[in-house]
Amino acid sequence: MSKRHANLSAVLYGGFIAGTLDIGAAALINMISPVVILKAIASGVLGKPAFAGGASVAVLGLVLQWAMSLLIAAIFVFAARRLPRLALHWPTWGVAYGVVVFFVMNYVVRPLSAAWPKTHFTPVGFAWNMLAMLLFGLIVAYCAHAFFNNTDQQPRVG
């Protein structure tokens, strides 16, 4: 597998898998339908009126979720190509990346968007949402590790 193909595969698999599972995790954490989660994501662009929207708003939320997830995965893959230890020691760096993603998304991106409701966590909600982002980071890091091991650019773990 070429380096370019490995990069693209790591980004696509990591982004789509982590992003999709993140929707499910958010639905479970909040005990609401994934459609409501998708509308909440779309509210980042549309504001509170997103919740009155139909299927097209949910599709917008899905597209936005996947776009953000692919971007988040691409950042990790780009960094891991320059610092191979990120993919080599993927569990440690995946967890660390999940923490960074959690704080950036909840305390930078969401406050700057039109998302409704604004971020407010109970201690239990904080813990569950952090765990979801740790899983997200682990998935992205594992995909980088798995696809990089199929090229000559990354040392193999043996």
Tens-digit pLDDT profile for residues 104-153: 999 999 999 999 888 889 999 999 999 999 999 999 999 999 999 766 54
Within a domain: 157: no
Rounded CA separation 139/145 (Å): 10
112 lies in some domain: yes
* pLDDT for 117: 82
Neighbours of 3 (CB within 10 A): 15
| Sign, CA torsion 12/18/20/21 | positive
- Percent of all residues in the chain with a pLDDT value above 70, rounded to a whole number: 94
How many other C-beta atoms lie within 10 A of the C-beta of residue 153? Answer: 15
Q: Show the domain range for 7.
A: 3-148
Reported confidence tier of residue 21, pLDDT bands at 50, 70, 90 = very high
Structural domains in the chain (count): 1
| Cα 148-86-24 angle, rounded to 5 deg | 85
Q: Is residue 155 part of a domain?
A: no
pLDDT value for 90:
97
- DSSP helix/strand/coil, 46: helix
Q: Is residue 80 part of a domain?
A: yes
pLDDT at residue 154, rounded to an integer: 47
Is residue 156 a part of any domain in this protein? no
With b for 16 or more beta-carbon neighbours within 10 A and e for fewer, the 89-111 pattern comes to: ebeebbeebbeebbeebbeeebe
* DSSP conformation class of 106: I
Q: Does a structural domain hold residue 158?
A: no
Kindly state whether residue 123 falls inside one of the protein's structural domains. yes
What is the Cα–Cα distance from 6 to 151, expressed in whole angstroms?
Answer: 7
User: How high does pLDDT run on average in the chain?
Assistant: 94
What is the pLDDT, as a whole number, of residue 158?
44
Question: pLDDT, tens digit, for every residue of 57-103?
Answer: 999 999 999 999 999 999 999 999 999 999 999 999 999 999 999 99
Strand, coil or helix: what is 36?
helix
- Whether residue 94 lies inside any domain: the answer is yes
**How high is the pLDDT of residue 118?**
82
